[in-house]
Structure 1
Amino acid sequence: MAVIALLGAGAVGLGFVSAAQGPRLTSAEINIQGTTTRSGQRLVLTANQSLAHLDPGSVEVTPAADFEVSAEGGSVTVRFTDLLRYDTEYTVRIDPAVGLYTGASSELAYRFATPDSDVHSLLRNTGTRADGSDAPDQILRHRVSGESVNEAVFEAPRIQQYAVVDDTIAAVVIEDSSPSLVLAYGPAGSTTARIDTGGASTVRDLRGAPSSDLLGYVINGGADPGGRSYNNALFVYDFTDSSAVPTEIRGIGGAPLPVIDWYFVPGTTSVLVQGIDLQLYLIDSLDVASVEPLGQHLQLEGFVPGTVEAVVSDPSGDSLIDLLSGDVTPLELPQADIDPLLYPGKRSVLSDRSFIRVYDEVDFSTTPSSVSSSIWITDRTWTRELYRPSAESSRIGDFCVSPNAEFLAVEVTSEGVPDDYDLILGYSNTTTYFVDIADGVVAGGMAGFLPDWCG
């Protein structure tokens, strides 16, 4: 009996210890890839017991990131309201986490690392081979962390434009004065295939949608099997379609739709198309009969990073079109506090309160006059210079924002000589620099121009 009593006492003691333990983390769920491409990603932490009321102040994210938090039962959902930084380890800590029935507290912590980002560029006129012939153009790959720099992933004699879809490079290659759309797979394009463009005289606006395995492009000239000539026709190629036949994007009732501009809607299979009548259409590229008119707008400027809100400009002002709800909201951006003698150029909208713009300053005291460029960022209450080339003679050709709005890719040309390519003109001595939007620090660079972030 003494032995039985002792065992019984031990069992009671173990039960007391178990009851006194605070909550422990049993699982965590998050879309790691989505944290740098779409805002609003959720981290769901699940504990082994229901939690008492959770004070939002007990939740901490390191390094700092904007978030919202909610809890139900044993689950805590942390919703990141902004995009996260590339190649960064984040720690989410809940302290204290209090058990609903035991009152015991503990700390719950979870760590995850966001992915790095590859960015590509086009390097033309790479020099001369030993036999005197021209070296091929190259598409280069660079990792933002700097682990790989200027790694050639595709080569061809004359590359007009390119796009990247996962591990595939799509390039418009000029062969015998005619464009050919080439798909390249494997190391340095060791395996290639071609997409039939119907004898098109030009292929332009080549863009990829990696999240949907889609490629899009606009062609002129050539003809369909029925003999109809293509007039700024948009085609979408689905890499998951075994037929390998591109689909023409048409308008209402299947009518031909000549295109001025177009974009893939981020994270979807849909395209946003601007016709020559300035009418916008939202069309699912996998269900081309689904055509939704969105009204006429003078200019389509792309999307606010991490959203499906399209930025449009009209003489009456700017607007945001939410492609999920269809709502159109006036975009009332702040005025830039900038020297009025500076000439405004390309603009990228970061949110409904901030934007980035390139400005040119012309010095008429020289013959010929000289131009210098700089990039400025404007928020509700301030404007500051974000980037200026180190050499006064250098010129900013183009810039674009990384998908997570962390960096700018800035094309800088230093006394470059223009090449003879049609549609997209390039310059020798062009380097693409990566500028941290938060502080203007140059995080690295790579040879060439046309970074694929600009697609």
Structure 2
Amino acid sequence: MSTDSRRGQRIARGRGRFARGLAITLGALAVVGGAAAASSLAQGPRATQIQQDPEAAVAQSGSRVIFTANESLAEIDEADVTVEPATDFTLDAAGRTVGVRFPTALDADTTYTVTIDGVRGLGGGPASTLTTSFTTPKARVLMLERDAAGDDRIVSRTVGADTDDTVFSAAQIDDFRATSAYLIATTVDGGVMHVTVIDRASGATHEIPLPGPGTVTGLQVSERGQLYGFTFTDANLSAAGGRENVLFTGSLASADAPVPVVVGGSEPSIDRWRFVPETSSLLLNSFDGDLTLVDRQNPDGEVSSFGTALGIEGVARSTYTALIDRFEEGFVELDLATGEQRVLSEVQFDRDALLGHIQPLPSGDTLRSYAMLEDGIPTTSRIVIASPEGDAREIAATRDTDVLQQVCASPSAQYIALIVSDATGPAYDGGVQSLPERIETRIYDGDTGDEVATWPGFDISWCEVGPW
């Protein structure tokens, strides 16, 4: 047999072995692929991606847990969803995505588990369960500490920790407010007020140009749109004219001059005002008592009038409900969408009491302080969480020498803050919006009433406004 013939036979045998090997490999892959497909069909849909932001969830309402599945899903009912610990949620699902939204902020330092049972593919098949757990961070706040002998500073503190970090300092800080992205502070230098914005991520700063020499008060911010607002009064205000408590707003991201709020063709003097959470609207209460709702993004649009009021106590986070002090009805919950209102009931104590502070909570309850009266004279204060019907649960009480300046709640009302000064302490600190020099903030657990921290300073970032 020739060499060429033997070589041809070897080549033929090699080709045969290769063909058989390829067939075996393809068969194995087909088996594996079929097994995988069968396994997938047997298991039902599974999550390929889960998105959540625990830090944002404790700071603001509207956070989401988003599941993305490996296939389009059949309709899911809210009854199939459980959240532990139990908290309110809404459900939105489309295609391969399922979103669980929390309309109110979540508690800090808490592990949440979200479970969706009975999840099926759009084409049918077995059901599966999608689940995830996440732990929210400890509660963090910003506070203002004034120092008569040195620079004032805005500090960052964490519930459960003893340390603090200086975020911003200046010779004289009058007020500040903060969003997740920015901090805005009013300062005084040589008798002249300034408004400074600090980017919390980069530390970069820019100054907001004021309408002229004057005084800035009522500083507030809005997380939605990263906005700020303040009332401005001219330094040369006189009987002849000038701006008095005119509201100006602007973007925290911009160094442009703020824009005055115009109602009915004029710039009204505003006593109290609030950003309406999750909207572009402003709720205004003028010195004449007029209560109006204005859309900042459409200043020429229709203005909603809600009659007259003595004041605005706040707008509940994640709601469209404002707490208003009316001339005749007293304190009412006002639905800004419909104009409907509900009168709040008083809390009954074992002795005479005088309502001091009241703030709306996302749950529909209110945080209140009452001064206990002895022979008609206010003594200590009791701080309670009250239902609209007047049922109350006591959280804390002040001490004999305390003067209660303000009460505030964390975004989820997990913690309650009492800002108190010492009645026997030194005089006022001499700021534009002055407060006693000896002042501190006490933090209480909103469920147990236990005091969990006491810090020097005030103006805690949980409050919509300062204590003035």
> How far apart, CA to CA, are the structure 2 residues paired with 1:416 and 1:104?
71
Question: Cα distance 1:285–1:149, how it changes in 2: closer, same or farther (>3 A)?
Answer: farther
> How far apart, CA to CA, are the structure 2 residues paired with 1:104 and 1:62?
25
Deviations 1:291-320 (A, max 9, x none): 513232312111112223222221124444
> How far apart, CA to CA, are the structure 2 residues paired with 1:56 and 1:193?
46
Matching residue of 1:131: none
Matching residue of 2:356: 345
1:252 aligned onto 2:264 = yes
Question: Cα distance 1:218–1:58, how it changes in 2: closer, same or farther (>3 A)?
Answer: closer
> How far apart, CA to CA, are the structure 2 residues paired with 1:320 and 1:220?
31
Gaps of 5+ in 2: 1-18
Q: Deviation of residue 92 (structure 1)?
A: 0.8
Deviations 1:30-60 (A, max 9, x none): 5766644555655443433455675755532
Q: Deviation of residue 436 (structure 1)?
A: 2.4
Count of residue pairs brought into register by the alignment: 435
Matching residue of 1:292: 303
Matching residue of 2:15: none
Aligned mate of 1:313, from 313, 325, 333 = 325
Question: Cα distance 1:363–1:72, how it changes in 2: closer, same or farther (>3 A)?
Answer: same
Contact kept? 1:334, 1:378, Cα under 8 Å: no
Deviations 1:133-188 (A, max 9, x none): x3122222223463x74322233333322223455543333344x3412315479x
> How far apart, CA to CA, are the structure 2 residues paired with 1:381 and 1:278?
27
Aligned mate of 1:150, from 148, 164, 184 = 164
Equivalent residue of 1:20, what SS?
A: helix
Equivalence map 1:168-317=2 (5 Å): 168-176=182-190, 178-183=191-196, 185=198, 193-222=206-235, 229-241=242-254, 244-253=256-265, 255-290=266-301, 292-298=303-309, 299-314=311-326, 315-317=328-330
> How far apart, CA to CA, are the structure 2 residues paired with 1:190 and 1:39?
26
Equivalent residue of 2:299, what SS?
A: strand
Matching residue of 2:87: 65
Q: Deviation of residue 14 (structure 1)?
A: 5.1
> How far apart, CA to CA, are the structure 2 residues paired with 1:235 and 1:167?
20
> How far apart, CA to CA, are the structure 1 residues paired with 2:117 and 2:39?
21
Equivalent residue of 1:16, what SS?
A: helix
1:140 aligned onto 2:168 = no
Equivalent residue of 1:17, what SS?
A: helix
Contact kept? 2:144, 2:155, Cα under 8 Å: yes
Contact kept? 2:368, 2:383, Cα under 8 Å: yes
Measured on the aligned residues, the alpha-carbon RMSD in Å equals 3.7
Contact kept? 1:67, 1:79, Cα under 8 Å: yes
Contact kept? 1:154, 1:184, Cα under 8 Å: no
Q: Deviation of residue 95 (structure 1)?
A: 3.9
> How far apart, CA to CA, are the structure 2 residues paired with 1:313 and 1:232?
20
Q: Deviation of residue 363 (structure 1)?
A: 4.9
Matching residue of 1:453: 462
Aligned mate of 2:69, from 47, 69, 79 = 47
Deviations 1:319-372 (A, max 9, x none): 44444xx3122224344232342222111122575222111224569xxx7822
Deviations 1:102-143 (A, max 9, x none): 6434332123444655422222235xxxxxxx3122222223
Question: Cα distance 1:278–1:448, how it changes in 2: closer, same or farther (>3 A)?
Answer: same
Matching residue of 2:174: 160
Q: Deviation of residue 206 (structure 1)?
A: 1.4
Contact kept? 1:69, 1:78, Cα under 8 Å: yes
Equivalence map 1:268-417=2 (5 Å): 268-290=279-301, 292-298=303-309, 299-314=311-326, 315-323=328-336, 326-350=337-361, 353-363=364-374, 371-379=379-387, 380=389, 382-389=391-398, 391-414=399-422, 415-417=424-426
Question: Cα distance 1:286–1:33, how it changes in 2: closer, same or farther (>3 A)?
Answer: farther
Gaps of 5+ in 1: 127-133
Deviations 1:229-257 (A, max 9, x none): 21221112323345x2121112222x121
Q: Deviation of residue 435 (structure 1)?
A: 2.0
Residue identity matched to 1:150: D
Matching residue of 2:38: 16
1:104 aligned onto 2:148 = no
Q: TM-score, normalised by structure 1?
A: 0.81
Question: Cα distance 1:100–1:418, how it changes in 2: closer, same or farther (>3 A)?
Answer: same
Matching residue of 2:10: none
The percentage of aligned residue pairs carrying the same residue is 27
Question: Cα distance 1:441–1:2, how it changes in 2: closer, same or farther (>3 A)?
Answer: same
Contact kept? 2:198, 2:205, Cα under 8 Å: yes
Equivalent residue of 2:300, what SS?
A: strand
Residue identity matched to 2:105: L
1:122 aligned onto 2:156 = no
